[in-house]
């Protein structure tokens, strides 16, 4: 179990699974850079959070829901948590509504429908936070893609739960180590908003230059 002071941002999981160096640059060195993808993503999240609560007969929708898990050592915000009316004993009780309601987290992402491990792990971490906070069991949620307005359902099976727990543990090790991993240029770097800060091509050149000088001086 972690203490309140030990909690890390849940959003760090997605950075971690994209690139450990990115996670360290953002959370250890407080670096940030915007590109088209991050601006579109931020606008989408702000729009979702501002929409307010919704209430229908069989459905309650909460937005911008604060999350925390002492077990995983994470804190964050869920874009949307839907509560769907179910038969007892399933679900949980919610304020100002009778009956039982099944929590169903929904994370909003820019662009078109696609599968990314980081998205599934981030959503599963939200579900694990909700399970701990509400003493609930949550078996699935969804990722909503803004460009196509389509949902991708994600099952929180054992494999995904274990991957999420491992990612949370790895994030704690990485950020407690206080050491940012070195850059390694890969095709995904072209999409990374920290490309200009990270300079993986230049840093790679510097490393080969250092190796070259080491070799020259050893001769």
Rule CB under 6 A: is residue 28 a binding residue for ligand SF4?
Answer: no
Provide, rounded to whole angstroms, the least separation between the CB of residue 119 and ligand SF4: 16
CB-nearer residue toward ligand SF4: 25 or 124: 25
| Beta bridge mates, 143 | 107, 152
Rule CB under 6 A: is residue 188 a binding residue for ligand SF4?
Answer: yes
Helices (H), 73-185: 117-134, 158-176
Provide, rounded to whole angstroms, the least separation between the CB of residue 192 and ligand SF4: 3
Kindly determine how many residues on this chain lie close enough to bind ligand SF4 according to the rule CB under 6 A: 13
Rule CB under 6 A: is residue 192 a binding residue for ligand SF4?
Answer: yes
Nearest-angstrom CA–CA distance, 120 and 118: 6
Q: Name the segment binding ligand SF4 (CB under 6 A); options: 85-93, 116-124, 170-178, 180-188.
A: 180-188
What is the torsional sign of CA 25, 189, 168, 172? negative
Q: Name the segment binding ligand SF4 (CB under 6 A); options: 16-24, 50-58, 78-86, 99-107.
A: 16-24
Other residues' Cβ atoms within 10 Å of the Cβ of residue 115: 9
DSSP annotation of 183 reads: P
Provide, rounded to whole angstroms, the least separation between the CB of residue 50 and ligand SF4: 30
Distance of CA 131 to the CA centre of its chain: 17
Nearest-angstrom CA–CA distance, 104 and 127: 8
Q: Name the segment binding ligand SF4 (CB under 6 A); options: 120-128, 129-137, 138-146, 182-190.
A: 182-190
Nearest-angstrom CA–CA distance, 161 and 54: 29
Q: Name the segment binding ligand SF4 (CB under 6 A); options: 44-52, 88-96, 145-153, 195-203.
A: 195-203
């Amino acid at each position: 179990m972690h203490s309140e002071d030990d909690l890390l941002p849940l959003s760090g999981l997605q950075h971690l699974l994209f690139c450990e160096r990115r996670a360290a640059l953002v959370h250890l060195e407080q670096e940030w850079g915007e590109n088209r993808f991050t601006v579109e993503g931020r606008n989408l999240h702000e729009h979702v959070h501002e929409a307010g609560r919704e209430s229908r007969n069989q459905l309650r929708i909460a937005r911008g829901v604060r999350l925390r898990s002492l077990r995983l050592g994470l804190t964050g915000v869920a874009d949307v948590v839907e509560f769907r009316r179910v038969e007892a004993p399933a679900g949980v009780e919610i304020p100002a509504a009778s009956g039982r309601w099944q929590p169903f987290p929904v994370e909003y992402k820019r662009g078109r429908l696609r599968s990314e491990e980081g998205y599934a792990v981030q959503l599963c971490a939200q579900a694990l936070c909700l399970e701990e906070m509400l003493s609930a069991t949550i078996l699935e949620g969804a990722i909503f893609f803004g460009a196509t307005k389509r949902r991708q359902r994600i099952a929180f099976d054992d494999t995904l739960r274990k991957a999420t727990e491992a990612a949370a543990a790895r994030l704690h090790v990485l950020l407690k180590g206080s050491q940012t991993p070195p850059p390694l240029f890969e095709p995904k770097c072209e999409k990374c908003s920290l490309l200009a800060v990270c300079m993986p091509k230049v840093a790679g050149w510097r490393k080969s230059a250092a190796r070259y000088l080491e070799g020259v001086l050893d001769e």
